[in-house]
Chains A and B, each alone.
Chain A
Amino acid sequence: MAVKLPLYPLINQKIAIDMGWKAAEFKVYYETKDHKQRALEIKASESDSKLFYLEDPMQEWNPDEYGFYVKSSLSIKNPSVLFGKKGVANENAVIGVGCQWYSKESRQRGSFRLLSIRENDSRLSAAVPLWFDPGKIRGDLHIGFVFFIEEADVSPKHLFLANQPGVLLGGPEIPALDLRFDGIGSLFPIVSDELENGLLWSLFCEWEEPEFEMFDECVRITLNKNHPMYPQVDTNNKKFNPALLIEIVSSAMCQVIMKFKEDNESWERMIQEENLYEGSISQAVAYFSTVLGWNYSSLNALSDSIRHYLEGSLYGIKS
């Protein structure tokens, strides 16, 4: 299995601690019709503990008519730690700190510069003032902090350190914000609709060129809104039973992997990590194995490992 190794040192937990990194949790606000700033509540999603959604206690805000601010603040007590051979940049480079955001369902991403750091700087701080226009963001939105080389050191002493403007140095993993706007968008494309065959769920799974076609266009689990058991798979319903949804998703995904495996050539190329084009079916199948730990050695192992993963993410049950 190929492992992606960074070519130069990145910000890790030790560096984050040594530099005295502190950042406030992200908070979200909007401007009301009478020009007051009101906070939106950030609530955890029931179906995925890592995702949150926005709620306005006054029931006024909605993502189509209103924009929103995302705010935070950060401070770095010992910026000098970032420079030199034990840091991430040469002594005379300038490091930048910014925010990156992305939203696949909105088809857009962006970045915003916050502050610059030089070796001789003492304690630094900055506020985060991100703004998103009304009607822009759909689906899931991720926001996080990132460090980067802002200016290169013209005579670098340590050639193993990154030294090109724009190059990313990673960043502290917390705080980060993952918001869900529309209750759609997840690792597995799941929708609700009326199914003529009367079954609780159905799998759409068709492709010709798995290396080029997009996973979420070619694979879809449809839950039947008209089925009597539907409330138990509806994440917005009081009767929602996550265990049932786990069984459905794992059964469907077994079918998807086994179908992909039928094409020996694509399978081999996936194993060799060739042609793993961003968002493609091949890349998704590789991702499930290399990152999520799904076991492709046999159908039984596959089924068990998928359920281990899903139960682990939902209930924190470790395999």
Chain B
Amino acid sequence: MELRVRFLSMVESKKRYQEWCEGEDVFAHLPQDYGILRENLICIYNHAKENAEKKSEQMKSKAKFGYYIDVFFGVSLFEFLDKQQWFTERLAANPDFWRYLCVMTIPDILRERLGDHAEDRYYRRTTRIYLLSIWWYVFFSYRKSLEYTRTILLSSNMNTDILMNLVDRSGRYGAYVEVYREIMFNYACLKSESLEKYFTNGQKGLIRSVMKLNTAKLQTVDPIFYKGGVSGYVHQLYIELGLKSEDWNRRKKR
């Protein structure tokens, strides 16, 4: 579909968000091309919700229902945007692009998913903007194919905490994308009893520790030049945090 990309600044987002909360019809301002985009996004979201319901039933877990929506929606959003000629990684890295979508295009979807008083997720906290965070979650976790990536993200070790920790941390210099993807794959393949060991040991969470150790190591080491490359580097991160080879499930071959 054709689209003239639009942006919404932080200041303007706050204004529009308040207008929408007070009941003003923000969709009256929506340009036609964004109107079509809105229909597409609603459709994608509804499918995601259906899939999330099925998954919750299958896993007998209502607690992760919201997370499952984020994964199905994130992956489908990723796939949809990838097919649009106007979409680039540059846009994905621009929070004002996502603000326009969250505040002007589908604020009602966000309200359904996140409830009220979620300004941070609509526009205020850059890495927490809802659509930005789910897109980058998929981007930083991508492996082999979107379907395979979805399988990783839906696996039992994954949850909203992982999403937040991953997206929040690109930091001052940006992220080595290959490293994040390897961290995620390793994390997904850990045995659940090994992860539980981590929580009972009083650690705040293994993923947070891995990400912090990675940030620290990057000051003196380059993972691309590491012995064993990125895969060796990431494996070593986990080993330094106390894990052993037997803590991982037998991994599927590439």
Contact = CB atoms under 8 A, between A and B. Distances in A.
Q: How large is the interface on B (under 10, 10 to 19, 20 to 34, 35 or more residues)?
A: 20 to 34
Interface in A176-219: 191, 193-195, 204, 213-214, 216-217
B220 A135 contact: no
Given A64-B88, A108-B177, A138-B94, A166 B9 contact: no
Nearest to A103: B174
Given A148-B225, A278-B215, A63 B90 contact: yes
| SS of B interface (majority) | mixed
B221 interface: yes
Interface in B163-200: 169-177
Interface residues of A, number: 47
A166 B171 contact: no
A237 to B, nearest CB: 19
B227 A107 contact: no
B135 to A, nearest CB: 11
Contact of B126 (A113, A133, A168, A214): A214
Given A104-B170, A137-B90, 11 more contacts: A64-B90, A102-B173, A106-B93, A109-B174, A111-B176, A136-B89, A166-B221, A167-B220, A191-B10, A194-B11, A217-B127
Interface of B: 9-12, 88-91, 93-94, 125-127, 136, 169-177, 215, 220-227, 233
A104 B174 CA distance: 5
11 contacts: A64-B88, A64-B90, A100-B222, A104-B172, A133-B89, A148-B222, A165-B225, A194-B12, A216-B126, A217-B125, A279-B171
B220 A109 contact: no
A242 interface: no
Contacts of A63: 90
A98 B225 contact: yes
A105 to B, nearest CB: 6
A215 to B, nearest CB: 10
A183 to B, nearest CB: 13
Contacts of A103: 174
A96 B10 contact: no
Interface string A146-172: 101011000000000000111110000
Contacts of A105: 93
Contacts of B221: 164, 166-168
Contacts of B136: 107
A106 B173 contact: no
A243 to B, nearest CB: 25
Q: Which of A103, A193, A278 has the most CB of B within 10 A?
A: A278
B165 to A, nearest CB: 12
Contacts of A109: 173-176
A146 B222 contact: yes
A166 B88 contact: no
Given A109-B174, A217-B125, A168 B88 contact: no
Nearest to B136: A107
A193 B215 contact: no
